[in-house]
Amino acid sequence: MTSNDLEAIDLSNRILTIATDQRYSLDDISRVVAIIKEFFTVTNVKSYIYANSR
C-alpha cells in the first residue's frame, strides 16, 4: 500500500471500481449492471455484506 490514510485504505477495501468510459457501449454497461444485480439477488449476499461492512 502506498497510502497511510486509514480512511482511504478502509474505503478501498470495501469498494469495487467499475470502468464505464467511452470504450464500452450501452449494451456492455447493461450487461455489467445485470451481472451486478444478479450478484445481489443471491440468497444471503446482502445480509453478509451488510453484516461485514460495520
- Summarize pLDDT for 18-27 with one digit per residue, the tens: 988 999 999 9
Contact 3, 9 (CB under 8 A): yes
**Residue 50: which H helix or E strand, with range?**
helix 45-52
Grid cell at residue 23? 470504450
Mean local confidence (pLDDT), 39-46: 68
Per-residue pLDDT band for 47 (boundaries 50, 70, 90) equals low
Higher-confidence residue of 53 and 15: namely 15
Grid cell at residue 47? 445480509
Mean local confidence (pLDDT), 30-37: 89
